[in-house]
Chains A and B, each alone.
Chain A
Amino acid sequence: MRPDGITRRQFLEAASALGFGAFVASATSAWGLDAIENPLARYPDRGWEDAYRDLWKYDSKFTFLCAPNDTHNCILNAYVRSGVITRIGPTMRYGEATDLEGNRASHRWDPRVCQKGLALTRRFYGDRRLRHCMVRAGFKKWVESGFPRGTDGRPPQELFDRARDEWVRATHEEAAAIVAAALENIATTYSGEAGQRLLRAQGYQDEVVAATKGAGTQTLKFRGGMPLLGMTRVFGMYRLANSMALLDAKVRGVSADQALGARGFDNYSWHTDLPPGHPMVTGQQTVEFDLNAVEHCRTLVVWGMNWITTKMPDAHWLTEARLKGTRIVVIACEYSATSSKADDAIVVRPGTTPALALGLAHVVMRDRLYDADYVRRWTDLPILVRLDTLKYLRAADVFGGEAAALANQTRVLAAGEKAPPPGRQDEMLIPTALRTEWGDYVWWDDTAGAPRPLTRDQVGARSAVGNPRLEGAVTVTLRDGRTVRCRPVFDLVREYAAHFDPKTVEEMTWAPAAAVERLARDIAAHPGTTLFAIGMGPNQFFNNDNKDRDIFLLAALTGNVGKVSGNVGSYAGNYRVALFNGVPQYINENPFDLELDPAKPARPKQYWRAESAHYYNHEHHVLRVGNRLLTGQGHIPTPSKSMWFANANSILGNVKWHYNTVVNVLPTIEMIAVNEWWWSTSCEWADVVFAVDSWAELKHPDISASVTNPFITVFPETPLRRVFDTRGDIEVLALVGQALAERTGDARFRDCWKFVDERRVDVYLQRIIDASACVAGYDFNDLHAKAKEGVPALLENRTYPKSVGYEQVTDSRPWYTKSGRLEFYRDEDEFIEAGENLPVHREPIDSTFYEPNVIVAPPHEALRPKGPRDYGVPESDLSCETRQGRNVVKTWAETKATRHPLAADGYRFVFHTPKYRHGAHTMPIDTDMIAMLFGPFGDIYRHDKRMPFVAEGYVDMNPADARELGVEDGDYVWIDSDPSDRPFRGWQKNARDYKFSRLLCRARYYPGTPRGITRMWFNMYGATPGSVEGQASRADGLAKNPRTNYQAMFRSGSHQSATRGWLKPTWMTDSLVRKELFGQQLGKGFLPDVHCPTGAPRESIVKITKAEPGGLEGVGLWRPAKLGLRPGYETEGMKRYLAGELAGGGDGKEKA
């Protein structure tokens, strides 16, 4: 009881019902107009201040882990009052994190939090929280009526009116039974010859049908989104996929040896986060460094990365490094947020990163500024290439003999030899068949004037490359007496890069020639001291592998790969599941041979198969151009007849080419199940939505880690009572396992989740930890106890900060490539055929003013791609599908004379969709407090009732471009992309779906973007049939689905109205050698999240048309423009303000 007689409960009621001020006003004794002589000095009665002190109080606090896919993984404090989380804050205890040896992080890591995490208070209790499981009415009817199907196997269309249908509540058990029944029915339907016949009848390509191998379980797709963000509860989706082998055994009656599990979709590559050229140069997934490494570099090049908006808790490393003397260079296609922190801000044309990197490399090679020692020891640049075959010259062809025995931290696995588990692999392991396939290489010794063999052992300090020929051709006599002309890789690349002189590069990339010269010289002048932080921007273009290869070229020439102070990093997504490379213990535990003793390790056997989700996104087509199949055999997808995913809105709700996916792909999928705690766009389009716990309610702890910081972070089990009828993600999997056990009579489906049922997921977690190279030695229960106190632990990588390549450079350990070196030449057939044996520049495939996807090159004897005619396609065919496999070479002079095929129709704006500070993907931008701050149009009271929400999507345009179109600042505009397939194929004859698919948004005058370049943030929720219906039918005019409360931030369409899926041949080879996902073993071809398609969602050329004036209710100018406070509308006073003329602060002496 408080002195004024008000209990805390009354306080809370008053405070929540009336707002704080009302309470205070009523609770404080009003007093008369006492004489207050000087309130600066004395104030008579301050008892009312207790009201604020009371508001600050809380009953208890606990920690939870906030881990959207942003790489930060913040353990946060939740403050509880009367059982409700009232606010959230940082623990301030990252500075207490230690490793097993006693090394300790500093408090400079604190605080770790952001506005999105703080706003979760309004989300845990928000009106889009899943209160219970939901099943779509039509789907329920389909299941309950025994899965009726047409002659081709298709379910009745009228039961699949997704996103418009009614929803029915269900218990978790009911929902699990429905999903289990559907999984069994779909697997049965599409098994055997009968199943294949149905799939063919439904129009799937032959190779896609054949890929199922007759197992219906192969048409079941599972995805735990970003599974590093929950090693058991998210990765559990793949464990479930593995257990589908039990279903196959029952359905097809096959043995455990022949059974096939389900398919699991990729993550890092699906999100276009994988930089696909990293494995092409280094043989492994990605090179990066923890962001605190910038403390140690002389120059930081932030390239296509809006660091301060997407790496917010680690932005201070950048600003503090700058304070201490690091030069910050920011390369962006606008004057970005991060540009404002740059010492040197370079603005470029989007999608031209390969050209800019080549231009910088050219200056370094032209003036011989390169780090010659690094080039000799660490790169393939001295290696000879044969000009007859365009293959590397093999040592066996010159010197004879077998492939050399390898001894440098490497072991060749004999045929049939079983490798140790991934977390216990110390040496690099190469299967003997692979080893013999590529053999050894040759360099030319200029001192002796003779060729020399080179093995992959000979790298770094072990390199024998003394005085290599780098420039000019040589003639080599082969063992059989023939001679062959060869050139070193360096020479081939040098000749190619010479096309990219600074003046040409300025024309191509818009980076001023002087800046190119200066930056190249600066980087080269101090080898090994530049960190390149490459963002998602350049990676979302079709030429993303070219970009990686060219940036690595620049970095290697300047000694900047694999050093703490000099390295390349790619920043997109939190992906390196191999930080827990013992995870096969869990996901691949053999379902036929489960280990039920908590003290013993599991016996993994993988039955599920990975697949790139890009084929689902591409209407299940592989890439075929003319007569040529350009998707490698190892990549071929199966039809997706069921899709169940967790922890993601990106696979459906915010999918690339979203509107084509929901209109043209979803009708072919028979069940879509989603685990969610917040009603997302994906839920709108689903059949079954399982209501799961938020991070604040987890009852089963879990674990995570990050690629940008050194912390192991546990998701603690929390004391908060479940607010609604939810279960843990992992419990939902167990429930479905149980339902399958009941349906099939096979108890192993249930046993698979034994330790979930017993609330002992620590058993699975400890098995993973014990088997993982970078965390072995930790006890999960200790980590958990610390996390409950707000303290993480440090990963046991080789270094703090992590810096990929450290072992290579420091221990002279070969890279995971064929040559053991950083490889800039690719001699596989697919690359030669594509004209990408050299690290070339291709123009963007859509986001260009010129002919799309042209290989910009001078005549070059090593570039001999197969062109359209070789594939039986007309040279003039620039349709989107054909364009993907179009290998046409043009010089820059020729290229710049071309035009994008849609230019004549008014499609003249590059439209790109980067991520921004207000959302981690779509989380939590539909929260009022976050949305009102998102951009210029936020308005918590929605003065203009046309607004779909308290904020809305907008496109940023150069003011001069907008004026040419008659578009004023703040107007609504239509944005249309290639009408052949966007927003969806067939929109011309489908007005019903076009109504919610066409993009309508505000336009903003944005002086920081170049002419012709427009930008829309990626993070906002798109329109659905329900949101459009809501805006028309609701009294408040919100774009909110009356049936689901789904809240869109567009009146119609979204940023994904203009994107589509893209497949590039070099992403889909069968021949690229790369390390396996876990451990040290090499393999080749398809590998999820390493070598497979990435898509290119920043590729879009659009037409923009004025829709409505921006003023209130559609009348006149948007108010801030009308008042003269906006760029291009400045009043005289505003102009004087901008010029600093409204106060002479500088003693009248004006400076710069």
Chain B
Amino acid sequence: MARVRNWQIGREMSYWYPEARPERQFAAVFDTNKCISCQTCTVACKTTWTSGKGQEYMLWNNVETKPYGFYPLGWDLQLLEKLGGQSWKDGRYEGSTLFEAAAAGERVLGWRPEEIDYAHPNVGEDDCAGPPIETGADLELPHDRWFFYLARICNHCTYPACLASCPRASIYKRPEDGIVLIDQGRCRGYQECVKACPYKKVFFNPMTGTSEKCIACFPKFEMGLQPQCFVNCIGKIRFAGHVSTPENARADNPIDYLVHVRKVALPLYPQFGLEPNVYYVPPIHVPRRFLHQMFGPGVDAAIETYRGAADDANLAGLFCLFGATERVVPRWKRSGDTVIGMEEDGTEIVRVPLREPVFVRQAFDATHRVTRTNTP
């Protein structure tokens, strides 16, 4: 075991390999407040990568309704129970990570789902928590009956549990972008990674005898394009790019701006200790305790910041840039009511208005000799 620095838990921790950060780290921001659980991301991924035999049940990208939705069944509940009560103090995680909580002889605290646990990938869809509705209701924020949608891909963690657990060292992190891959030639299907990944984003393929996972669409990412589940996201909740470590954060990097500068996007179960690289804007209508459990101590500040976006053109503007282009947008700026996405060198990629304009045409179009009406 090595000692490594995990900024998300505010301390050093134990990990199977020494710290070695990639040159740039693939990362994403998901705004749960915009997610509509349409599953377009899921199907975009599935039609692109997992339509083969043995992959039928596999959803590298899935969207589940929290709190009753799980894919596979009970994935986070199981682990949280195994890990036991945990606590934070002043942004520092006081409990054990999965690496630290592993039993003697194990590298990671984990569990392996049964095949049938994957059977109902949308169990819990739109099921709400809180007391069941009796007759009418009037719910203001936060809602006391609630659910929200959690879209999930591989977190391409800085400290992947899958990578740590692989006895053949067939899982690696690409130095150029931090994407975590399973070498399909070398993997022998021991499924230690399936057991170790707390997010259950590694899947065993019984037809090939290997384990497979989300590849962050690296063939696209290498071309400067966002992955399939991002480009097809019609809720426009997703933004792909690179995240820096906190000390290297740049405000003109959209991901850094949201993660480090505004701290409005938070890691999923940071207490697991993997330093996951998909960052979530927490849902503003959900009781805080549940969110603390899931996204850590930054929840209150993140929600406060997000709810202030109405008077914060930078924040609102950047969220309006989500989904506006297939290209990865490494830099951004706002100019008045326009938000501009740019390449590293400042070349413009796309620009969008903060508010879609209203155009009013002449009632009588003299050029075409016709009346332009809204009631034709």
Contact = CB atoms under 8 A, between A and B. Distances in A.
B176 to A, nearest CB: 10
A344 interface: yes
Interface residues of B, number: 159
Tell which of B46, B70, B130, B173 has the most Cβ of chain A within 10 Å: B46
A1142 B300 CA distance: 18
Contact of A1142 (B73, B85, B88): B85
A111 B231 contact: yes
B190 interface: no
Interface string B346-359: 00001111111111
A49 B181 contact: yes
Nearest to B295: A1145
Contacts of B359: 99, 103, 799-800
A938 B59 CA distance: 13
Contacts of A92: 231, 325-326
Contacts of A1079: 376
A86 B46 CA distance: 11
A959 B132 contact: yes
Q: Is the interface of A mostly helix, strand, loop or mixed?
A: loop
Interface stretch (A247-255, A724-732, A773-781, A881-889): A773-781
B34 A316 contact: yes
A807 interface: yes
A107 B87 CA distance: 44
A1016 interface: no
Interface stretch (B98-106, B133-141, B240-248, B255-263): B133-141
A875 interface: no
Interface in A1117-1152: 1119-1120, 1123, 1125-1127, 1133-1134, 1137-1148, 1150-1152
Contacts of B217: 56
Contact of A1144 (B181, B292, B356, B370): B292
A112 to B, nearest CB: 7
A14 to B, nearest CB: 10
A1008 interface: yes
A509 B324 contact: no
A105 to B, nearest CB: 8
Given A320-B320, A935-B125, A1147-B88, A315 B370 contact: no
Nearest to A927: B43
Contacts of A1080: 373, 375
B224 interface: no
A87 B48 contact: yes
B207 A772 contact: no
A510 B136 contact: yes
A519 B285 CA distance: 19
A1152 B126 contact: no
Given A111-B232, A514-B138, A1140 B287 contact: yes
B1 interface: no
A943 B56 CA distance: 14
B19 to A, nearest CB: 8
Interface string A326-341: 0000000011110111
B292 A20 contact: no
Contact of B148 (A340, A581, A1133): A340
B352 A39 contact: no
B235 A316 contact: yes
Nearest to A934: B122
A323 interface: yes
A777 B37 contact: no
Interface in A4-45: 15-16, 18-22, 24-25, 27-31, 33, 36, 38-43
B198 interface: no
Contacts of B140: 343-344
A126 interface: no
Nearest to A308: B36
A1120 B36 contact: no
Contact of B40 (A118, A1140, A1145): A118
B251 interface: no
Given A774-B372, A917-B36, A941 B127 contact: no
Contact of A113 (B126, B136, B234): B234
A678 B350 CA distance: 39
Nearest to A805: B374
Contact of B175 (A36, A42, A511, A1008): A42
A323 B319 contact: yes
Tell which of B52, B173, B363, B376 has the most Cβ of chain A within 10 Å: B376
Contact of B136 (A110, A1010, A1075): A1010
Given A324-B316, A773-B372, A1140-B290, A339 B139 contact: yes
B366 to A, nearest CB: 11
A423 B369 CA distance: 11
A106 B128 CA distance: 36
A1145 B173 contact: no
Contact of A929 (B43, B146, B163, B374): B43
Contacts of B43: 115, 118-119, 929-930, 933
A209 interface: no
Contacts of B49: 20, 52, 55
A715 interface: no
A313 interface: yes
B324 to A, nearest CB: 4
Tell which of A49, A345, A1145 has the most Cβ of chain B within 10 Å: A1145
A930 B44 CA distance: 11
B376 A578 contact: yes
A938 B121 contact: yes
Given A21-B212, A49-B181, A426-B364, A118 B232 contact: yes
Contacts of A22: 52-54, 207-208
A103 B174 CA distance: 45
A773 B325 CA distance: 33
A1011 B132 CA distance: 9
Interface string A731-749: 0000000000000000000
Nearest to A346: B138
Given A20-B55, A1008-B128, A113 B40 contact: yes
Interface in B287-314: 287-297, 299-300, 306, 309-311
Contacts of A345: 137-139, 143
Contacts of B186: 28, 30-31
B42 interface: yes
A101 interface: yes
Interface in A70-95: 86-90, 92, 95
A108 B374 contact: no
A1147 B138 contact: no
A687 interface: no
Contact of A87 (B47, B169, B235): B47
B185 A48 contact: yes
A52 B215 contact: yes
B172 A960 contact: no
Contact of B163 (A40, A42, A53): A40
Contacts of B129: 1007, 1127, 1138
Contacts of A21: 52, 54-55, 184, 205, 207-208, 210, 212
A342 B309 contact: no
Contacts of A349: 135-136
A996 to B, nearest CB: 27
B30 to A, nearest CB: 13
A40 B17 contact: yes
Nearest to A800: B359
Given A579-B376, A937-B120, A1140-B292, A334 B363 contact: no
A426 B296 contact: no
Interface string B59-74: 0000000011010011
Given A113-B234, A1146-B289, A346 B137 contact: yes
5 contacts: A335-B145, A335-B147, A941-B119, A1007-B129, A1146-B299
Given A27-B185, A515-B138, 15 more contacts: A22-B207, A40-B19, A42-B175, A43-B174, A88-B47, A325-B310, A339-B139, A340-B283, A346-B137, A511-B136, A796-B365, A933-B42, A936-B123, A1006-B127, A1143-B85
